[in-house]
Amino acid sequence: MNLEKIKNTSVLIFQWVFICTIIGSLSGSASALLLVALEWAAQYRAHHNWIIWLLPIGGLGIGLLYHYYGSSVVRGNNLLLEEYEAPKKQISIKMAPLVLIGTIVTHLFGGSAGREGTAVQMGGAIADQFTSLFKLDASDRKTLIILGISAGFASVFGTPLAGAIFALEVVYFSKISLKSLVLSFLVAFIAYFTVEFWAVKHTHYSIPTTPEITIENLAWILPISILFGLAAMLFSRSTHFWGHLFSKTISYPPLRPFVGGLLFAIAMYFINTPKYMGLGVPTIVESFSTPSAYYDFLLKILFTGFTLGAGFKGGEVTPLFFIGATLGSCLSGFIPLPIAFLAGLGFVAVFSGATHTPIACTVMGLELFGLQNGIYIGTACFIAYLASGPVGIYHSQIVKGPKYHLYKKLKRQKLDNF
């Protein structure tokens, strides 16, 4: 009996290690392809500024593609979260190529978007195919979705620890099994090293000077972290606002990105700067050494919310990095802390507030900026998380934990006072 149990356990372990290896390798390769394609798109766009005028055509193409061939996967990351919470139907593998094509088109023609959503959707679609291959039940299917999210996030940003924790935290930590926890870390590292194998490089950021841990310095963290949280709230609500406005005013979905692309191109013509197109990585890098303009983060919120709300594809996280880093950089003119330090805090804290994932963002900050900044990073991420309100970038995310209880209590007090 014991031998039979050991045999069955060994088979299960082998099965899940095999699944993690395949998901990690395929997701990592898909992310490597995405990173190379987006770099090519950014370089081509930089040398051919006129291409912005093709954004409406690109948007129409994306709209038609999803309307006629991708209606079942158009909800993207929200679909992954919905299927995790209440498993119903296996996610179609066509989610992966559709979001890849849509994201490349969005970036090539100058739309303001990110890349994390694309990598996570590709990872999730790849992972969910194992449901039917191995005839897995609903519980194991939840584990597969976590693995896909983990692999996609870890590989596209080069942060395996944060990727593993993000996948667990974004689907509501307390429901996570030990098996999912271990496998999430395993697949994250496999995906990460797959990108390394393909020799695709990630952008590196650094905080060269860390302030001493003093009462005065820690006191500054409170107000700036609240500002980071409010910026996250503004971004989330902006994205939802534009999505609702486009769906309400334009009934035929393919026309939404066409109209949005045309308006975006006109806006870029009058602004006359490529700063807010695409990922905005050069501006993020610059913000760590040169104070950003006070309006940079506001315009990125506006243009990214507009781009995604119109129906273009990509992600929200790199724009959140842009928003946080430029806001922190701008604050260096008023707050007696190093510019790179403030930009780095904003980089992860705004992300924390918009995704309700303070633990993953703290770990990401440690991976990117070093353990010496840990107290500051953890404090900023948690305060921004609390200050950003109950609405995040993902409609279908279930928000629990300290924020949930805080806002539930405030809402109850408001009703009682009324």
What pLDDT does residue 418 have? Answer: 39
The predicted structure's pLDDT at residue 167: 95
3-state helix, strand, coil in the chain (%, to 5): 75, 0, 25
Domains of the chain: residue spans and CATH:
2-197 (1.10.3080.10), 215-405 (1.10.3080.10)
Which pLDDT value is given to residue 80? 96
What confidence score (pLDDT) does residue 178 get? 80
User: Do residues 313 and 106 lie in contact, with contact meaning Cβ atoms separated by under 8 Å?
Assistant: yes
CA-nearest of 346, 333, 325 to 229 is: 346
Tokens of 395: 């409609």
| Predicted pLDDT of residue 415 | 39
For residue 410, what pLDDT is reported? 55
Residue 231: what pLDDT?
A: 98
What 3-state class would DSSP assign to 201? coil
Candidates 286, 291, 386; CA nearest to 337 is 291
The parts of the chain modelled with pLDDT lower than 70 are 1, 173-175, 399-418
* d(C-alpha 194, C-alpha 346), whole Å: 29
The token duo for 3 is 């031998």
Tell me, what's the pLDDT at 391? 87
- What pLDDT score was predicted for residue 383? 97
Angle (CA) 159-316-225 rounded to 5° is 75
Q: Are 314 and 77 in contact (CB under 8 A)?
A: no
